[in-house]
Amino acid sequence: MHILHVVGARPNFMKAAPVLRALKEHAEVRQTLVHTGQHYDAAMSDVFFQQLEMPQPDFNLGVGSGTHAQQTAGVMLAIEPVLLERKPDLVLVYGDVNSTVAAAMVCSKLNIRVGHVEAGLRSGDRTMPEEINRLLTDQLSDLLFTPSPDGDENLLREGIAAAKIHRVGNVMIDTLVRLLPRAEQHFPADLPTPYALVTLHRPSNVDDLSWLSEMLAILADLSSQLHIIFPVHPRTRQRLDGMSSQAGLNARLRLLEPLPYLEFLALQRRATMVITDSGGIQEETTFLGVPCLTVRENTERPVTISQGTNQLVGRNLARLREAATAIIQETSTECTSSAGKTSKATNHHVPLWDGHAAERIAKIITN
């Protein structure tokens, strides 16, 4: 059996790594790894592959950046010859990036079976490009591996046959569980505590310069109560550099370059709270038991709210300030060391988020 994996951006790497490892245990399986190059920071891609102990890609398509149409079309054009050459029995695609839907569409035209890892997630917001990618990929897939019960429900409601749906758990949590002990070794010894960890990258947020300026001012204000650690996404950095004023920046609001996986996981683990517009970070903070404030109007991961630590505060920055202040007050007397947080990770457990999702995927594929 020949399995071909398609990854395109850093979140895919965390999801694919445990599946590659689990399938390696099956002698009858041959694997090919295709990196579309949708994430075009070569240095960051390389360090993610190293830290996750992933094999080097068999193909790097080098698609790079561009509009959604350009990127999707570029992946489709570049991956078709690879599929025709390798003739896989099954193509596994991950998450909701443009590479995922592009590969699924080409496979469907070539009558190659597709498995979607992280199927069934829905925000209900079709203005999000990722939502379109999720909807289309799920309709084209033959095997749909869901991380949580809401995924199953969404797929059934959309007419997907129950026999195609397999709830396996969350492969990102597989990676987190395996690498968390190692991540602890990457925690900066000189980092001041307590601190909040911030990530922002969605165009709907960072391309709104008025909103971004106000967000920066609120972070500067919050930094009087705790340090703010803000690894800045390249898109966000470009917007910040283009702003006429960055009033309020101070020594307690630390802007960093993007971080490799282990370093970022170490910071998440010990944060007093995380402020983000990321999807995967909502899941990781839920498992870690770290309060998360998500600056989006919706989430495709509602289980992180119902069973986790996530609060959806929207783009309402007054609401963000209020929620952040409440968390600071609640945790002001708590120990912020890793020992003080060890027990929290088990307080918000989502069924099957146990570090073994990839093994379940491998068993389904090979049976």
Q: Decide: residue 239, CB within 10 A, 0-12 exposed, 13-18 middle, 19+ buried.
A: buried
Tokens of 227: 């340090």
Give residue 336's pLDDT: 44
Q: Say if CB 279 and CB 170 are below 8 A apart.
A: no
pTM for the model stands at: 0.93
Residue 14 DSSP code: H
The pLDDT assigned to 245 comes to 64
pLDDT at site 243: 80
Quick one: pLDDT at residue 340? 43
Q: Residue 337: what pLDDT? A: 44
Q: Is 201 a residue of the active site?
A: yes
Where do the domains of the chain lie, and which CATH numbers do they carry? 2-169+352-366 (3.40.50.2000), 181-346 (3.40.50.2000)
* Mean pLDDT by groups of 10 residues along the chain of 367 residues: 96 96 98 89 78 95 92 98 98 98 98 98 96 98 98 98 98 97 91 94 92 93 95 89 72 90 96 96 97 97 95 96 95 54 54 97 97
Peptide bond into 291 cis (omega under 30): no
**Tokens 């965390």, residue located:** 14
- pLDDT for residue 47: 87
Catalytic residue (one of 26, 201, 349, 356):
201
- Strand order across the beta sheet in which 195-199 lies: 253-256, 227-231, 195-199, 273-276, 292-294, 310-312
